[in-house]
Amino acid sequence: MRVLVLLLSVFLPVFLIAQASVEDFTLGGTARILNDECIRLTPDAQYASGSAWYEKAIDLTRPFELTVCLVLGENDDLGADGIGFVFHPTRQTGYRGEGMGFAGLVPSLGIEFDTYQNYHLADPSQDHVAISINGQTHHYASVSGPNPVPNLEDGNKHLLWINWDPIYQKLTVQLDGKERASLEADIVDKVFQGNATVYWGVTAATGRKTNYQDICIKKLVFAEAGY
């Protein structure tokens, strides 16, 4: 059963902390709930794509922390494609496959955990993390990365922490306890054209090569838009 806690502070707005909140996601494509913490975005099958969008918008003028675990399957050499985190003013999924669910979305911010090398996108040979804006998937346009990481296709849970600090205007991405990507920018103005209200979702896809790909919710801390 999910646990919801509201924290009140004279300095901060109302924050929602959600634990094991899979019920708060709208699922698309092949995405299915596995248990009270985990969503399987894709099965280990060819040309699958799945998405999970959190149902409530967040306010980017306030800080947020997303703590989850990623599972990117067990097929290493034969595995693909990876998982993307997408921030967009609506719950709209972009092009899948190598597009990681954020390709073509404008305005948008995407964080990719890519397990397949697409040469034409300037991917490194290793699994990698990158931050891109406005649906541009070629790494010439990445605002952070691509940064190689150790093999993610090992069947294990990989702890992910995404933090946004609006005071210092810094987005930080930590995977398995190490910072893998970051962006220092006024995201509200530079990316979302002054709109501080966005939704966030998680997408995954396979192609000719495959993997089951899961997200497991640990803790979500953010200010709901409108508070």
pLDDT tens, residue by residue, 20-61:
579 999 999 999 999 999 999 999 999 999 999 999 999 999
User: Per the structure, how many domains does the chain have?
Assistant: 1
User: Does some domain include residue 96?
Assistant: yes
> How confident is the model at residue 51, as a pLDDT?
93
Mean pLDDT of 104-125: 90
* Confidence band, pLDDT 50/70/90 cuts, at residue 227: low
Instruction: Report percent pLDDT > 70 for the chain.
Output: 89
**In 3-state terms, what secondary structure has residue 69?**
strand
**Angstrom distances, CA of residue 56 to CA of 24, 61, 199, 220:** 8, 16, 7, 12
User: Does some domain include residue 224?
Assistant: no
Q: What is the CA radius of gyration of the chain?
A: 16
**In 3-state terms, what secondary structure has residue 23?**
helix
**In 3-state terms, what secondary structure has residue 8?**
coil
Residue 119 domain boundaries: 24-216
pTM, rounded to two decimals: 0.89
